[in-house]
Structure 1
Amino acid sequence: MSTNDPAARLFPALYEGDEDAVVRLLRAGVSAEAVDEDGQSALYLAAVSDQPGMVRLLLTAGADPDRLSLGTDAPLCGAACGGHTEVVNALLAAGAGPNTVEEFGLTALTWALRGGHTSVATALLAAGADPDRPGPAGELPLVTAAHRGSVGCVRALLAHGAGARAEALAEARRLLGVDLEAELLAGLTRTHGPGHASVTHRRPSPGGVTVEVQLLDAEGRPFAGDDLQTGHAEIAALLEADAARPGR
């Protein structure tokens, strides 16, 4: 793409967060559906980088909220994966389908639950996301949230009638007796092979602590990681109380 092409200037403006420049380019006729030299759409890049102002500008200028970037990546899913609630709300307000499926059968709700992003999950469910739609490996949303250890996501799903409550309770109970650091390291080792040094981080999060394990390369730099929250005890209690209610 020639640097004399106005469309080529759209993406540097996006990366720099220059909303005024984006407005000028859109008014000059640059398409809101523009793609960069790699084929990624402007809307997807703005969504995944948590730029709600840019997202709204592109949507107002005609960007399709459900158009898959590179034919595989949905803007709503990119925003949900990162926990970008304001972007998710902007996309939903513009008509993005809450059950849009991207590559490998992933939906925005699956991404939100995997990341423990309660506010995103709540917004998606309120917009009509299916609380029982299985993930790509057949995992049910409530089980995913219970595995994650996200009390907020479990509460949101229960409020929207999610099923698989016995299975979710079993998963929460299982993880109560597990060393989460060892669980995460085992999963990373299965994916990336043995022999890597690792480092563990613990940080406060809603409902407890988030435990993150990262694998390190030969120079000591992180190259892969995974994390879980520690709300399993509260989740088990919630699900036990739900099971004990009359009519359950």
Structure 2
Amino acid sequence: MTKEPIADARNLFEALHDGEDAVLRLLRAGVSPESVDEDGTTVLYQASVEGLTGAVRLLLAAGADPDRASGPEAGDLPLCGAACGGGAEVVDALLAAGARPDLPEQFGFTALRWAVGLGYSRIVEALLSHGADPDLAGPEGDPPLVLAARRGSVRTVRALLRHGAGSRSGALAEARRTLAVDVAEEMRRGLIETYGAHEVVVDRAVVDGGVTVTVELLRGGEPFAGRDQQTGHGAVATVLEGELGIRVPAEELAVRALRGGGPELDDWHEQVSALWSRGDEETFLAAAAWCAAGDPALRAFGADVLGRLGFRADERPFAARAVPLLRALAREADDREPVRAAVTALGHHGDRSALPEILRHAGHPDRGVRYAVASALSGLAPADRVDGVAALVALSGDTDARVRGRAATALTELGGGGS
């Protein structure tokens, strides 16, 4: 007995949660890949919103229209739903099937507007690579670059700049404005204005190279409303200033780096890159002074800058002056980050004279420092590295996998084989 079409459609929606084989069986049995439910939602839209990449690919291969609008008002698009949910692989599949990246859904939102506003840099890059307009404003009228600057996602900003986005001055003004704002407090106030006074929970997590702050309101101990915000506005401002040829005092860049979180984050790296690219006496003197500062984080920042100076032909005199400062820091520093930064910087310079300062930290309790030692030894010429073989052998048996791998690689390059 032949099933009614609505029953077939319902089965296909249910099959989304039973796995790709279940979806494939129904499609092969003749169920339409354009099936809709009672509310007018297409099965492709549902799969896209839920991030079901395999099901999306099967539906597209069976003939589902990647641009077909969905929902009671026929105002929702699969590409926008995937972008809003952060489904990068689904976005890739839809674009490969011909989805138009600038097609607006209800209220004028495009996939790029959703992705930029939510800081999904990987999706932003995919959309731009498939022809999305980097200057197409959303329904609020703000250009994408301004929205990205407000969001605080330096990777999204860089993606837009690579594809020629304009409104750079406006974006810089927005980044600088937000630098002076307590984003957690701003979100808290906004939520309370909307929903009234409730218990507030604030969470911070490293996401996509920066710190994302999430503020949630609780009712009966359970979250019912929330907002999140990336905080890479210092990095965003520095990137935009570079694009506009604006030279910011070195001290301001150092403040941004320290306020941004830590050496593993984009805020820190962007400030180091901006200073290193200057390669001048003023920058060298500033970094040298930071290496002697009382703040361990500032000493680490100074070491990271000195570790990058001296590699262009016009900067080579800086290397000869930087190595003694870095050796002194490696000898005298007690805090983890200055030690890590000094050892890493000495490895960049590859100066054999620094071998004693590098080796003295081979047994450091912090795995990041031990990894820096293995990397620094790898940065030495093979003939200079020989004196560090014993340390590399010990590090090749380290409890941390990254340290073991780095040390083993350095030994293999020497012909030691790691044993």
- TM-score scaled by length of structure 1: 0.93
Report deviation, 1:211: 0.1
Distance in 2, Cα, partners of 1:55 & 1:2:
24
Task: Quickly say closer, same or farther: Cα 1:215–1:163, change in 2 above 3 A.
Answer: same
Contact 1:200–1:213 (CA under 8 A) maintained in structure 2: yes
Deviations 1:170-222 (A, max 9, x none): 111011111110111122234x23312211111111232000001122x1211
Distance in 1, Cα, partners of 2:245 & 2:208:
26
- Which of 78, 82, 87 is equivalent to 2:85? 82
Deviations 1:29-80 (A, max 9, x none): 1110101222211001111111111001001111100011110111000111
Distance in 1, Cα, partners of 2:56 & 2:184:
37
Give the aligned partner of residue 24 of structure 2.
Answer: 23
Give the aligned partner of residue 6 of structure 1.
Answer: 8
Are residue 173 (structure 1) and residue 176 (structure 2) matched?
yes
Contact 2:204–2:211 (CA under 8 A) maintained in structure 1: yes
- Which of 124, 129, 133 is equivalent to 2:132? 129
Report deviation, 1:233: 0.3
Q: Whose radius of gyration is greater, 1 or 2?
A: 2
Give the aligned partner of residue 112 of structure 2.
Answer: 109
SS at match of 2:132: coil
Distance in 2, Cα, partners of 1:119 & 1:56:
19
Report deviation, 1:125: 0.3
Report deviation, 1:103: 0.8
SS at match of 2:86: coil
Contact 2:153–2:232 (CA under 8 A) maintained in structure 1: yes
**Structure 1 residues 87-166: aligned runs within 5 Å:** 87-166=90-169
Give the aligned partner of residue 72 of structure 1.
Answer: 75
Q: Which has the higher contact order (CA 8 A, sep 6+)?
A: 1
Deviations 1:116-151 (A, max 9, x none): 101100000000001011111111100100011001
Report deviation, 1:4: 8.7
Give the aligned partner of residue 57 of structure 2.
Answer: 56
Moved over 6 A (4+): 1-4
- Which of 177, 187, 191 is equivalent to 2:190? 187
Distance in 2, Cα, partners of 1:3 & 1:241:
59
Are residue 43 (structure 1) and residue 44 (structure 2) matched?
yes
Contact 2:102–2:132 (CA under 8 A) maintained in structure 1: yes
Give the aligned partner of residue 383 of structure 2.
Answer: none
Are residue 216 (structure 1) and residue 218 (structure 2) matched?
yes
Letter in 1 for 2:160: L
Distance in 1, Cα, partners of 2:192 & 2:163:
36
Letter in 2 for 1:5: A
Contact 1:207–1:230 (CA under 8 A) maintained in structure 2: no
Distance in 2, Cα, partners of 1:112 & 1:134:
13
Say how many residue pairs are matched.
242
Letter in 2 for 1:136: P
SS at match of 1:36: coil
Deviations 1:1-26 (A, max 9, x none): 9799222211111123x211111111
Contact 2:6–2:37 (CA under 8 A) maintained in structure 1: no
SS at match of 1:5: helix
Contact 1:113–1:145 (CA under 8 A) maintained in structure 2: yes
Contact 1:2–1:8 (CA under 8 A) maintained in structure 2: no
CA RMSD, 1 decimal: 1.6
SS at match of 2:67: coil
Distance in 2, Cα, partners of 1:189 & 1:162:
35
Distance in 2, Cα, partners of 1:83 & 1:96:
17
Instruction: List alignment gaps of at least 5 residues for structure 2.
Output: 247-419
- TM-score scaled by length of structure 2: 0.56
Letter in 1 for 2:212: T
Distance in 2, Cα, partners of 1:22 & 1:227:
35
Distance in 2, Cα, partners of 1:162 & 1:187:
30
- Which of 206, 209, 225 is equivalent to 2:208? 206
Are residue 234 (structure 1) and residue 213 (structure 2) matched?
no
SS at match of 2:202: strand
SS at match of 1:200: strand
